[in-house]
Amino acid sequence: MSHDRVRAQLLEALDAQRRHILAAIEGLDDAQLRTPALPSGWSPIGLVRHVTLGCERYWFHTVMAGEPLDYWPVGDAALDEGRPADWRVEPDESTDAVVQEYRDAIARSDRILAALPLDAAPRMPDPDWPEAAFGDLGAVLLHVLVDTATHAGHLDAARELLDGRQHLVL
């Protein structure tokens, strides 16, 4: 299979999972978006913040494109309740704005991805991971795809608990 075909399949799958994230929260009101549905305590809007900062911006904007990490929130144990700070949405933040930030991050990521071949090396490699683990865009893209798909499934479970809507009935 050609690199172009593999690249197209990875990008199509990532786009489908991004749409799944957005569809999973569609129709939820502000209170539901902020309501933790699972014992771990994260809210649907907190998960959207995480996929914005911890997936799209971190891996594509920072690791692959070399953009600064100046957007990362400072951790606050009292506010974050054991989760990384990239899950936090302040009570006075608009949930619509958080969703728009996700859409904007996707648009920026797509521009970055369009300009890079699958074998492109990261411009700012993640210091916490072995270089071989994320040595090129293909590895980073696969990592973000799996993470986004996992979180889309998390949102399906949360959504069913919040209002009974099921994404996939088995």
Distance CA 155, CA 23 (A): 10
Residue that the structure tokens 């953009």 belong to: 67
**37: which residues sit within 8 A by CB, 6+ positions away?**
43, 44, 157, 158, 159, 161, 162
What does pTM read for this prediction? 0.94
- Cβ–Cβ < 8 Å for 9, 17: no
pLDDT (tens digit, 9 = 90+) per residue, 100-142? 999 999 999 999 999 999 999 999 988 888 867 889 999 999 9
Q: Where are the domains of the chain?
A: 3-163
**Statement: residue 159 has pLDDT above 60:** yes
Chain mean position to CA 86: 10
**Statement: residue 70 has pLDDT above 80:** yes
Give the dihedral sign, CA 12/13/16/18.
negative
Q: Please give the structure tokens belonging to residue 2.
A: 């050609």
pLDDT (tens digit, 9 = 90+) per residue, 28-44? 999 999 999 999 899 99
Phi-psi region of 113 (alpha: psi -120 to 50; beta: other; left: phi over 0): alpha
Domain 3-163 has what CATH class?
mainly alpha
